[in-house]
Amino acid sequence: MAQVTWTITGRLTVEENEVNGSGQPMTRPLTNVEVEVSASNFGAYASWGTVRTDSDGYFTLRETKDQSKRKIKVKVRFTDSELEINTGALANVGDFLSPAIEVFEHANEVEGPSINIGTRCFKAGAGGELGDRDNRRRAIAWYVCKKLINTFQATDPYFDFKDKVKIIYPANVVSGLCYANALTRSVYMHTTNSKDLWDVQVLIHEFMHLWNYDHNSGTANWFGAVFCPPDLSTHSQAERRPIAFHEGFAEFAAWELLHEVWGDEPDSKRTRQLPYTRYALVHDLYLDTVDEVEQNDKGVYRALCLLVGRAIYARRFGTKNTRLDSNPYPEKVETSGFDCPENPKLTIWDVLKVFQANPAKGYSTEWQVGNNDYGVRRFFDRAAGVLDKLDEATKDLLLSLIDPNSVEEPQSRCQELSWQIGGTQPIDAGQLTSVKKPLTR
Ligand SMILES: [Zn+2]
């Protein structure tokens, strides 16, 4: 029989309502997934090989065969050279093959040679394996991590991972917690019938632990794994400084990346997380000194939020003894009529850049995540050292704002504008009108 070129086309997407927090369904293309096409005529299926989806989820596979009617079956695996979504077994280590998920099969033989299977979407209510909850979550994990990896690569080559990373879902972890393992380069998302810890923010938190393992110096054999409760409350109050930094950074980076990458979507709830007042540091987090702030997950997390804060000079942080109405967040103050220094407006990308060695500016190694001398104050110093946008005076102000025992307000660096020549003078925060309303998050 004459040979012809069969062409199998289609598109792969996932519909989800979790990533931007709006609860609204969003359809996401599944990029660079492995698509295997098989065909049968009156017999067993034979593979026609694999192709990958493009950046919009489309794929095309061509195969030279005769024109007999055939059934086509299409399976996908979430794996490539950078990322793999594996199914977990009852183990914390080891390698599990990424499952092949069937997304299409003809009921009867059809005429070729051009077959378009349309858009196959992982979503709730979809038939077969497309609608399965665990497959949908695997597709979401693929979409989210692939989007982050691609964004890292496009933003700065330094941000890229050094090797392939894996997401194990559902994992049944002995501790009953999600965690990231530097040795297997895997994130374990604990999910069992009795305890479901699936959450996109937790996924990115763990993923950023792996990023941190790849972007640090001299700590190849430090603690290989960090167990992460979904809220950080079960961590001990005072930890080793590097663990607190590692945890606080992962938590900060997860929220900040959600904001940076998905914050502009319609109805997105992924706003920037805010720093805490001094009162909240002491009375909500029980951190009485800046040293304690530095040795606590949440203290580090809120300190890093300050580093990317937008309206520092329009916020009052208060004292450790005075609870502001906006607690735990700083209070908004009116700054019209005052000339304040420019906000550094750092982003998550600036923060990630601080990890990089910068010998020209005196930093010969990457950030030493596992070194007990490396806490969040040192990170602020290093940020001022390597980032042009952050000057020393602003950095010193930020350090005083994470010190529960300081009373300095950002407004002390503002000048009152005056119509009288030579009439500018420094002000104290008390001169500014407080707008007593809680900030939106
Ligand atoms: Zn963690």
Q: What is the pTM of this model?
A: 0.91
Distance 203 CA to ligand 1 centre (A): 10
Distance 415 CA to ligand 1 centre (A): 42
Q: Are strands 165-171 and 83-86 parallel, antiparallel or unpaired?
A: parallel
Q: Are strands 338-339 and 315-316 parallel, antiparallel or unpaired?
A: unpaired
172 backbone φψ class: left, alpha, beta (φ>0; ψ -120 to 50): beta
Distance 363 CA to ligand 1 centre (A): 26
Rounded Cα gap, residues 320 and 278, in angstroms: 5
Every domain of the chain and the residues it spans: 1-79+98-132, 239-441
**Which residues are within 5 Å of ligand 1 (an ion), measured at CB?**
226, 228, 247, 250
Distance 225 CA to ligand 1 centre (A): 9
Domain 1-79+98-132 part of CATH 2.160.10.10 = no
Distance 216 CA to ligand 1 centre (A): 16
Q: What angle, rounded to 10 degrees, do the helices at 297-307 and 376-386 form?
A: 20
Distance 227 CA to ligand 1 centre (A): 6
Say which residue, 374 or 270, is predicted with more confidence.
270
Distance 365 CA to ligand 1 centre (A): 24
Distance 243 CA to ligand 1 centre (A): 9
Distance 185 CA to ligand 1 centre (A): 14
**Tens digits of residue pLDDT in 43-62:** 899 999 999 999 999 999 99
Distance 403 CA to ligand 1 centre (A): 24
Q: Are 228 and 178 in contact (CB under 8 A)?
A: yes
**Tens digits of residue pLDDT in 218-238:** 765 455 445 565 444 444 555
**Tens digits of residue pLDDT in 193-214:** 999 999 999 999 999 999 998 9
pLDDT reading at 428 higher than 80: no
Q: Are 208 and 260 in contact (CB under 8 A)?
A: no
Q: Are 130 and 152 in contact (CB under 8 A)?
A: no
Rounded Cα gap, residues 151 and 148, in angstroms: 5
pLDDT reading at 94 higher than 70: no
DSSP per-residue codes, 221-255: TS-SEEEE-SSGGGS-SS--HHHHHHHHHHHHHHH
Map tokens 């959600």 to a residue: 258
**Tens digits of residue pLDDT in 342-358:** 999 999 999 999 999 99
